[in-house]
Structure 1
Amino acid sequence: MERIQDMGTHFSPALRSRRSLTWRDVAAWLLCISFFLMIPMEFASLEWKQTAQGLWRVENGHAEGLVFALIWLLWAACNVGGGILFVVLGLITRFQYERGSGGALTGRDFVYYFSWLQLSTMMFMLIVESFHVNQGWFSLLIPYLPHGLMILCALWLFKGRLSELGFRRIRAEKAGFAFVAVVVAYGLTYFFLDPFVTNPVANWFHLDLGSWREESISAGIKQAAEVGFISVGGQILLIGVIGPIAEEMVFRGLIMGGISRRLGTGVAIVMSALLFALFHADITYLAPLFVLGLVLGGLYGVFRSLWVPILFHIINNTASVLFDLFR
């Protein structure tokens, strides 16, 4: 009898730890769902205005109404409740998942990554709003700092497993072919994307080609040019390099890689491209962004290295920044 009691005493901490991990998984799911729930919430906040030419111009705005307010409250509750539970149980379990994760990426890695990304983004925005640091030159950085959080979360959670995320070397005999493929893909998208995708889709749906997102980026670049050379360099670094690395790591490395292991490469390319387009919440450029996602996914599917779509993405974004500067 004493031996049985001793065994119960011995295993109770392990059982408590297991239960804590289970509830922490629930909290992680809440934060992960909250992250992806931001996509439909952003679309719901867009405002549709008709121009004098009878076209629809989509602008960033603020959604109103009881339904949206209830959804926002549910989203906020998931963030606050899930975030507190996630951190507290992490302290209780001594962040067992973060210390012990390894091997091939799993669904749990996916959930924990987006939970940490959502939590760190919320904390960052809270600091910005509380201390009013969204002014001056720092305001130029704020829209792009979430990309930095994407990279930092991955470096922390997937340390030692970046090859599983897609950061693999390309063999020397394939490197030249990969570079040519990137240049050709960029040339095709540069010359044919607008006349064969962007403009026809906009005409079909009577959309004004003005984009609040593109205009916001252009305004930031022009503001940086007025500040000075260092600010311009910072914009090129953030938009042209850090942004592409972060987005390719998430959409091709994590999302496409995870889907392809379960549903195949073709389905993964399409689904990751769709999420990539929706993530930008830009109705006017939804179709070309989807096509760009297909191109990026195709490059990753062919060469199996994240560096190839990253190179394409860097060329595309850097060229866009330079065009804005010298236009």
Structure 2
Amino acid sequence: MENSNKMKALVKYAPGPGNMEIRDMPVPHAAPGQVKIKIMEAGICGSDLHIYHSDIAIPVNPPVITGHEFSGVVDEVGEGVTGYAVGDPVVSETAYDYCGKCDFCREGWYNLCIGRRTLGYWYNGIFTQYTVVPADRVHHIPEGVSFTAAAMTEPLACVTHAVGDLTVINPGDVVLVSGPGSIGMMAAQVAKAYGATVIVSGTDIDEERLALAKQLGADYTVNVQKDDLEALILRVTDNYGVDVVLECSGAAPAINTALRLVKKRGYFTQIGLTGKKIEFDIEAINYKEMHFSGSMGSRNASWRMALKLLGEHRVNLEPLVTHKLPITQWEEAFDLFEKKAGGKIFLLPVE
């Protein structure tokens, strides 16, 4: 297939629920200012399922090749591009295009640009053999970092944005990570890298994930359906509550529990998306003078921090991956994801 002008790709071919299939698509070429990347490994994000179900607020432009979490090697360098050579191991930011003129872009917060158009949503993504991206979005993979770990740079960058840009964690702080999915596992490790004592909470369905969180450095893990999270937190914090909540589950009960258990003037950063409107105690934010923030995507500084943590081996991402399937088995992979069977699921290119 490498010498062919076609490649197998997972395509959202029309608006509406479903409307996704494997198609033969043209192999792209790098235009001036672009880099063509051969995909090595690629992860499924929850948003890929939302694209499939057509219930996502981010603009989607079918027909489009889906997927945006990946690692690869430079296959072709467009005219005018410097700093990259064929064969370089790389990753790419997902913010394929943004206006560059609005206040958010000019201040470095292009993740909030209203004109942002995203890889795998608006522009052809990475569930295929090759993708093309603007050279300014490309980052070198640090030496010694595997393609598997590097393929999770994008979700890790979302976490480093949430922690580094929106939250204050001081050494010795107690941090509650609510929800031990892949993002929660990353958040726990990033918080540990900041010097925090970390508590990871989950439910019965998360028993294996909680065990893995412990192996990856969490100080405490709690199944809230079996153990008393509040009692643990009050004991560890001298009855003050946790300094920081990194809420990664998006579940209403977990959000309300965390609001109750964060201390006065503490930080609460909502990373997980609820997928629907929920009821929560907004007055708790007032009464506690809480620093409450949502978090959306990532920006250049987030990517640099994520790659630094990977390069220094301060986070360990490979154990998060439980399944690697060819893109031709995407339906099975999506089903596993929706059933929360296992951890991070990868789709690999096929010829």
**TM-score bucket of the superposed structures, by smaller chain:** under 0.3
Larger Rg: 1
State the TM-score, normalized to the length of structure 1. Answer: 0.26
Larger RCO: 1 or 2 (CA < 8 Å, sep 6+): 1
